[in-house]
């Protein structure tokens, strides 16, 4: 799987997610500027790849490891995540964790509470992946 296929596959999976309205997801598309909603939760998808791993001796193949990072935001009431934010993170973890498709395997999901960032409280859902 090449990098463009990887990007398209992960975005396709995120577009299947029904735990939040699609208009509330920032896909970081340079053609369409995203505007954060004035209320409620929203999120931003980032795909972070790491150094490829060579596997095989006779026919070497590069496997690309990395993380799917979904930054989740809600208006800050305090420095702790809101119930809506925690529920969104749980839904995202369930949607991506251990999901497989030809050429890609997602592994465990981790919740990282970032805290207050500007006027938002932020939690990140990070899912480890490996191309096959």
Domains of the chain in sequence order: 3-131 (3.30.2000.20)
Instruction: Detail the DSSP E strand segments found in the chain.
Output: 25-26, 42-49, 53-55, 61-63, 65-75, 100-101, 104-117, 120-131
pLDDT, tens digit, 9 for 90 and up, residues 36-69: 998 999 999 999 999 999 988 888 889 999 999 9
Neighbours of 102 (CB within 10 A): 8
pLDDT, tens digit, 9 for 90 and up, residues 3-13: 999 999 999 99
pLDDT computed for residue 56 by the predictor: 83
pLDDT computed for residue 80 by the predictor: 78
* Whether pLDDT at 79 is above 80: no
The predicted model gives 6-34 an average pLDDT of 96
């Amino acid at each position: 799987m090449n990098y463009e296929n990887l990007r398209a596959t992960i975005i396709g999976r995120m577009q299947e997610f029904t735990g939040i309205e699609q208009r509330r997801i920032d896909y970081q598309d340079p053609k369409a500027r995203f505007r954060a909603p004035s209320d409620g939760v929203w999120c931003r998808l980032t795909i972070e790849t790491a150094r490829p791993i060579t596997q095989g001796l006779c026919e070497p193949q590069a496997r690309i490891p990395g993380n799917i990072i979904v930054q989740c935001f809600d208006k800050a009431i305090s420095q702790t995540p809101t119930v809506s934010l925690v529920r969104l993170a749980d839904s995202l973890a369930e949607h991506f964790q251990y999901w497989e498709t030809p050429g890609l395997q997602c592994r465990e999901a981790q919740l990282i509470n970032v805290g207050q960032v500007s006027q938002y409280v932020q939690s990140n859902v990070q899912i480890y992946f490996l191309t096959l």
